[in-house]
Amino acid sequence: MTAKTLYDKLWDAHVVHQDDDGTCLLYIDCHLVHEVTSPQAFEGLRLAGRSPWRPNSNLAVPDHNIPTTHRDAPIADPVSKLQVDTLDENTREFGILKFEINDVRQGIVHIIGPEQGATVPGMTVVCGDSHTSTHGALATLAFGVGTSEVEHVLATQCLTQKKSGNMRIVVDGRLMPGVTAKDIILTIIGHIGTAGGTGYAIEYAGSAIEDLSVEGRMTVCNMTIEAGARAGMVACDDKTLDYVSGRAYAPRDEMWERACQAWQDLHSDEDTVFDREIAVDAGVIEPQVTWGTSPEMVVPVSGEIPDPSAAEPAKREGRIRALEYMDLEPGTAIQDIHLDKVFIGSCTNARIEDLRDAARVVVGHKVANNIKLAMVVPGSGLIKQQAEREGLDRIFKDAGFEWREPGCSMCLAMNADRLDPGERCASTSNRNFEGRQGRGGRTHLVSPSMAAAAAVTGHFVDIRDF
Amino acid sequence: MKKFTEFTGLVVPMNRANVDTDAIIAKQYLKSIKRTGFGPNLFDDWRYLDPGEPGQDHSKRRPNPDFVLNQERYRGAQVLLARDNFGCGSSREHAPWAFLDYGFRVLIAPSFADIFHNNCLKNGLLPVVLPSAAVDTLFAQVESTPGYRLQVDLRAQTVTTPSGEIMSFTIDPASKNRLLHGLDDIELTLQHAEEIRAYEGRRREQAPWLFVGFDA
Ligand code: SF4
């Protein structure tokens, strides 16, 4: 038998039909649905008189549009409300499970999938959302799709796909204290660029990835799309099994034993050849801060804003424009950048470990005077509850942070949480595009502990010295 | 899906790399539950000087005279010339919907982000990948020639310049066939319904936990 990669195995197990040119019909085990990318798909089904192929393979949750305060009152923005109500109606009409806004299980779609045991190893997982790659941390083949494909999965349980290339990023060595999964993935993106993974499925491997918690692996896989690849994944190991075990929708009893047996094979075989392979030394990774309007515009916290004239010609103009937008000068030390707002949240970094990391930094401090708003938005109701049990909410609130209800919030600013023009924000989210957190807003992507330290000092600091 | 066979249109150059889908169609417009009406908000943050919200009369807003789509010579453009990694970021299909609604039928770039590329193909908006050098040539020509139009022939897989220079592009045969005939993807897949059921039968034996699902 030829050696296979993890991606090969997941792919092969889901091929329903293959055309001569290699186009495959790929079976989808789990489809996650949110309010923004699904209404037109349900409408398409209705217009064609179709119904979902397997309604119980779909799980829906509102997350992008919803307010993070006053959740007992109706949504104030009528356009947002209509979209959330439309998800209600569609899921009811088509018999799909949906978590209500005030259900403790509600949260960001990519956080609640693993949390509920809805996404488990060996699955194909899709969602009309590019950060679906997050679920690959559980040795799934998970990727984002557009609305036409959402409709296609609903109607047929399949997608028409061509296989990507195999790419492996091996991160070996030990991380310095204070350096996190977020810094690993930002370092990788800085290194290979935002198109570096285009056309590939990426497997993350090596001792530093093995050492990460499953939640940390989710942070890494989450930002795979920022490296240009649709799917990122990590092999199944004991940590994966421990993580999945006992979750609401995870297999139980005899079924659990059988599943664990099957999942033993979810790793790349020895001697597999990858189409592209990259090695990263974990030991030299520093805490990272993005300075521009693309996640690849990133430097270590000890560094300074790079001079665009030193960049390769093709990148020069983009960098000059980014500095203009960010209102930054080349040569400025990262630690001299002062902030207006701090956002701890998003499907990248709003899990319980992220909140613990941030709280550990905040304890005994106050949010700095120049920070107009520092907010923590837990990734789900269950995470919020857990954090409150541990007293993390008190730590944040005592320091002057706002403690909000779960949702996407200021990661994309579709609700009321946003930056005003010109405001500068340390954010634990995944995109620093122009206007992402609000028109004219300036985003610096960092890890949760770096964001927390920035909140209490008012500017970036090296968390290793904090 | 909208058919695509051959198209000739005015070209507009967008000279920046890594144009993301947040820039193509801003978040506030994603609240719509329709597929149409996004045209006035294509590149909203770059195109207007004042901020926009859904439901507003966008014809009353202040256009940014420096933005390329607002320049008189590019009025009515239907072919966009772009740089590397076009359409990166969010999977929002509202991005190709906005291009179509504005009147675009063809996008030309040295590379596209995967999900966006796919979303274009599903909507009859043709993403044409040409080598960087060819794209450089086109940028130089369009910038120096008012009224510059390109002819794009999907069947022949060619782009023809006004002077008759022909550039070839590749596209995967399955997507090409769907576009040429305007085929409905779902209908095509449902022709394999028996195979899908047979797969489910086999898979249910091997991995029954995958079929437990979520009950509404
Ligand atoms: S948290 Fe941000 S990146 Fe994640 S799903 Fe929500 S909007 Fe998308």
Whether residue B45 and residue A160 make contact (CB cut-off 8 A), yes or no, is no
Q: What is the ipTM of this complex?
A: 0.95
Q: Is B16 exposed, middle or buried (0-12, 13-18, 19+ CB in 10 A)?
A: middle
- Give the pLDDT band (50/70/90) at residue A193: very high
Please name the residue of chain A whose CA is at the shortest distance from the CA of residue B30.
A36
CA distance A241 to A247: 11
pLDDT of residue A312: 87
Write down the mean pLDDT value for chain B.
Answer: 96
**A residues 218-237 near B, CB within 8 Å?**
225, 228-230
Q: How many CB atoms lie within 10 A of CB B111?
A: 23
DSSP, res A367: -
pTM: 0.96
CA distance A398 to A89: 41
* Cβ proximity of A13 and A111 under 8 Å: no
Cα A135 to ligand 1 centre (Å):
13
Q: Is A65 exposed, middle or buried (0-12, 13-18, 19+ CB in 10 A)?
A: buried
Give the phi and the psi of residue A210 in degrees, each rounded to 5.
-60, -40
Å from A262 to nearest chain B CA? 8
**A residues 264-323 near B, CB within 8 Å?**
294, 314-315, 317-318, 321
Task: Indicate the SS3 state at residue A29.
Answer: coil
Residues of B in contact with A25 (CB under 8 A): 189, 192, 195-196
Q: What is the pLDDT of residues A314-359, one digit of tens each?
A: 889 999 999 999 999 999 999 999 999 999 999 999 999 999 999 9
pLDDT of residue A398: 98
Q: What is the CA radius of gyration of chain B?
A: 20
Q: What is the pLDDT of residues A374-425, one digit of tens each?
A: 999 999 999 999 999 999 999 999 999 999 999 999 999 999 999 999 999 9
- Give the pLDDT band (50/70/90) at residue A1: low
CA distance A440 to A429: 17
Whether residue B213 and residue A57 make contact (CB cut-off 8 A), yes or no, is yes
* Of A37, A71, A29, nearest in space to A53 by CA: A29
* Best of B1, B21, B121, B189 to mutate (most A CBs within 10 Å, chain A): B189
CA distance A121 to A441: 38
**B residues 44-103 near A, CB within 8 Å?**
45, 51, 54-55, 84-85, 88-93, 96
Q: What is the pLDDT of residues B177-192, one digit of tens each?
A: 999 999 989 999 999 9
Q: What is the pLDDT of residues B22-47, one digit of tens each?
A: 999 999 999 999 999 999 999 999 99
Å from A195 to nearest chain B CA? 6
